[in-house]
Amino acid sequence: MKKIVLVLLFAVCATIALSAARNIAVMTFDVAGNAVTEEEAEGITELFISELASTGKSTVVDRANFDKIIKEINFQNSDWSDKEKTAKLGKAINASIIVRGKITKLGSRIYLSVTFIDIVTAEIISSGREEFFRLDDIFSQLGYLAKDLLAGLLYTKGPGGGTIFHIDGNTYYEAVFFPHETGNIKDIDELGNSYRNGKYKGWRFPTEKEFKLIFENLFIDARGKIKNKELSGFYYHGTGYRWKDFIGSVIFGPPSIEGWWGKGTRFFEEPNQYGDNEVKMKTQNDIVYKAKLCLVREFTVK
């Protein structure tokens, strides 16, 4: 009974966190020294807000209203460590996350650091930093920073123990990965069709579209670089039939080699014509000898 209660409690907490995660308030970025002017800091903040909103994955609180409430409740910078005051602020502005940023200049370089703060716990839940040589470079990189920070915030653990990889309105998709390749495709089929995690059912093999979303949101970052290398490999789609290499056994003599003919998706990296590593995803029908297992489920948050 205790275990069931804990599972239900986790599900409720996760649901609350997911449903509130997209209400964000952004404070004007602070400036250390003379890194930029106040007007430039204001412009950088507004462009960052625009990039956040353009993802469609967050709702940003109106800044004019935010600044007004900050003044009304006399909220000070020293109050960020006070959970009661931050909770009061969050309730007043109807946001669960506050974004703070700081622009610093060291030598010839400009640094922009941004943190996402949980309004209830006052804890940092996502953070990132960018380095620039020119002020103009900041504006071209803000989109990448905003997307990566949101990914760290939204694509977290789901209530079923998987990782959130896509959000469509109130419908969330989570994936669970079994990292080690296995040569027994029959075992993958059986596990895929019978997998349960606590009370959560509905796990299934991903569609080709879902593999693409996993690739875009979990495997690579906003710049197209690998961020979760452990997800590299070949994943079986769960559709196919048994295959034996009878021809090979006749020519080369060994017993027939058993595999599985079916569809699979590979996440990998290979050098391009310029010698740079390029991250790719490839889906194809092939003879499968070894594969990883990925299962997905969807759920609704109201």
pLDDT tens column, 208-223: 999 999 999 999 998 8
CB-based contact 300:170 (threshold 8 Å) = yes
Half-sphere exposure of 269 (CA within 13 A, CB side): 16
Helix axis angle for 38-54 and 135-154, nearest 10°, is: 40
The model carries a pTM of 0.70
DSSP string, 180-227: EEES-HHHHHHHHHH--BTTB---BPPPHHHHHHHIIIIIB-TTS-BS
Q: Tell me, what's the pLDDT at 198?
A: 59
| 3-state SS, residue 50 | helix
| 3-state SS, residue 87 | helix
CB-based contact 202:297 (threshold 8 Å) = yes
**Cα dist from 26 to 45, 51, 60, 96, 201, whole Å:** 8, 12, 7, 11, 38
**What six digits make up the tokens of 146?**
């905003």
* 276 Cβ contact list (under 8 Å, min separation 6): none
Look-up of token digits 């196919």: 240
CA terminus-to-terminus distance, the chain: 26
What average pLDDT score do residues 274-289 get? 82
Half-sphere exposure of 94 (CA within 13 A, CB side): 6
Q: Tell me, what's the pLDDT at 170?
A: 82
Q: Tell me, what's the pLDDT at 255?
A: 43
pLDDT greater than 70 at residue 264: yes
Q: Tell me, what's the pLDDT at 244?
A: 52
Largest CA distance in the chain: 84
Residue 12 per-residue DSSP state = H
CB-based contact 287:259 (threshold 8 Å) = yes
CA angle 167/210/260 to nearest 5° reads 155
For residues 153 and 148, what is the distance between their CA atoms, to the nearest angstrom? 9
Over residues 169-198, the pLDDT tens digits come to 788 999 999 877 665 666 666 776 677 765
Confidence band, pLDDT 50/70/90 cuts, at residue 57: confident
Nearest to 277 by CA among 223, 215, 237, 209: 223
CB-based contact 31:43 (threshold 8 Å) = no
